[in-house]
Amino acid sequence: MKGRQIALDHLNGREAAALLIDGRLHDLLVDGDAPRVGTIYAATADRPMKGQGGLFVNTPDGKAFLRGAKPMAPGAKVLVQVTGHAEDGKAIPVTAKVLFKSRYAIVTPNAPGLNVSRSIRDEEERVRIKTILHDVAGQAPHGIIMRSACLGADDDDIADDILAMLNAADTALENTSPAPAVLQQGDAPHALAWREWTEPADIATHSGSFEDCGVLDQLEGLQDPQVRFAQASMFIEPTRALVAVDVNTGGDTSAAAGLRANLWVAKELPRQLRLRGLGGQIVIDFAPMSKADRRQIESSLRAAFKADGIETALVGWTPLGHFELQRKRERLPLLLEE
């Protein structure tokens, strides 16, 4: 099927959402047992982590690690938000910079200012959105960022979204229940799909939509560590310490084979990591190429991961010629069999 398609269904009994572009699986959201990204806690300070610039805090879901926190007295109450998924046996990553995020608006407590996304360049639209924002939240004590999804959206829908996020922020910030406590759950996959996949699309919500849209067949392919492209391929293999990516040219022995395979990997890797739910340290062993080609590979990687949306730091080349990435763990690893 041509165009964008969203399927809202369940996978192994868990709520899931899939985004397909021209029939090809582009993104996947699956619920899990771990705390959802975006969950907000009233936590209590536990102990500082000397040398790592952080603090352990107690939440109803276990220990969490607050990076960059100033020293606090044990038991002190602190508002934190889950930023990613923890590795097995490690603390939940959280931040004290809490955001209340929806389809059209992001409320930013302690960061004042009323702003419109710079990706909205039409001046008439900017004026329209700013007018709605100031009418609804001109006296609000919090900062607000209007997202690109506001472009062309209905005035009332935008206004309702702003009010909902302001109410959510006020409710959480004014909460007086004893800590530790859950103040707001992160969005489940169906709500997250509505929030983040905002471009026009055909939407299938019936049970069995994953099968009807071809999602299940494509998910089976993600069980294979090997991804093929013409004669080239890459193997994506997670270990306890890192995710290893090995690039091979296969039977192609032409002079440009290495560069051609590496450029394909640079473009395809963000999608593969996103669908497989992989993050953390990633080491790429590219196919042999000249050092003069490295700049082209870096540019391709930078463009691909910028469009990906999940925070990824391009660390650079190692003495052995590998390329290192550090990727935020926003997704749970994909487990298709239980």
Q: Residues with Cβ < 8 Å from 34, sequence gap 6 or more?
A: 85, 86, 92, 332
Which 3 state secondary structure label does DSSP give 143?
strand
Same domain flag for 205 and 278: no
Instruction: For residues 222 and 236, give the distance between their C-alpha atoms in angstroms, rounded to a whole number.
Output: 10
- The reply to whether 333 falls in a domain is no
User: How far from 80 is each of 66, 73, 111, 184, 291, CA to CA, in Å?
Assistant: 8, 16, 15, 11, 44
Q: Which of 73, 95, 117 is the last residue of a domain?
A: 95
Residue 156 is assigned to a structural domain of this protein: yes
* C-alpha 115 chain-centroid distance: 22
Rounded to whole angstroms, the Cα distance separating 163 from 335 reads 38
Q: Is the model more confident about 22 or about 309?
A: 22
Residue where one domain finishes, among candidates 95, 117, 142: 95
For residues 9-35, give the mean pLDDT.
95
**109 and 59 share a domain?**
no
79 is a domain residue: yes
Residues 86 and 126 in one domain: no
Number of folded domains that form the chain: 4
Q: Does residue 145 share a domain with residue 180?
A: yes
Confidence of residue 43 (pLDDT cuts 50, 70, 90): very high
The CATH number covering residue 64 comes to 2.40.50
Handedness of CA 296, 300, 306, 311 (dihedral sign): negative
Q: Structural domain of residue 151, as residue ranges?
A: 100-187
| Unique residue bearing structure tokens 């099927």 | 1
Does 192 map to a domain? Answer: no
pLDDT tens digits for range 235-279: 999 998 999 999 999 888 898 999 999 999 999 999 999 999 999
- Give me the pLDDT at residue 276, please: 96
Mean pLDDT of the chain: 93
Mean pLDDT to the nearest integer, 48-52: 75
Q: State the burial class of residue 64 (Cβ atoms within 10 Å of its Cβ: 0-12, 13-18, 19+).
A: buried
Does 311 lie in the same domain as 267?
Answer: yes
The amino acid that residue 4 corresponds to is: R
Check: CB of residue 172 under 8 Å from CB of residue 183.
Answer: yes
Whether 181 has a pLDDT exceeding 90, the answer reads yes
269-to-87, 183, 249, 307 alpha-carbon distances in Å: 21, 36, 16, 12
Residue 283 pLDDT exceeds 80:
yes
**pLDDT at res. 49:** 79
Does residue 51 have a pLDDT over 80?
Answer: no
pTM as predicted? 0.91
CATH for 113:
3.30.230
Domain stop point among 50, 65, 95 = 95
**Could you identify the residue written with the tokens 């997704």?**
331
Question: Are 56 and 118 part of one and the same domain?
Answer: no
Residue 336, pLDDT score:
54
**Given a cut of 50, is residue 114 above it in pLDDT?**
yes
Asked whether residue 88 falls in the same domain as residue 17, the answer is no
CATH number for the domain including 311?
A: 3.40.630
Q: Are residues 210 and 229 in the same domain?
A: no
Joined together, the tokens standing for residue 264 give: 């394909």
Residue 81 sits in the same domain as residue 112: no
Lowest mean pLDDT among 12-21, 45-54, 86-95, 189-198: 45-54
pLDDT at 269: 97
What confidence score (pLDDT) does residue 68 get?
81
Classify residue 204: in a domain, yes or no: yes
319 and 250 share a domain? yes
Is the residue at 205 inside a domain?
yes
Shared-domain flag, residues 168 and 258: no
Does residue 15 fall inside a structural domain? yes
Count of H-run helices and E-run strands, the chain: 7, 20
Is the pLDDT assigned to residue 69 strictly greater than 90?
no
Q: What's residue 338's pLDDT?
A: 44
In a domain, 35, yes or no: no
Residue 262 and residue 294: Cα distance in Å, rounded?
10
Q: Is a pLDDT exceeding 90 seen at residue 195?
A: yes
Claim to verify: residue 238 and residue 290 sit in the same structural domain: yes
pLDDT in tens, 295-327: 999 999 999 999 998 999 999 999 999 999 999
Please report which confidence band the pLDDT of residue 153 belongs to, taking 50, 70 and 90 as the band edges. Answer: very high
How far from the centroid of its chain's Cα atoms is residue 302's Cα? 17
pLDDT score recorded for residue 309: 87
Please tell me the distance from the alpha carbon of residue 236 to that of residue 46, in angstroms, as a whole number: 38
As given in the structure block, the two tokens for residue 170 are: 């006020």
pLDDT digits (tens, 9 = 90+) for 232-245: 999 999 998 999 99
pLDDT at res. 176: 87
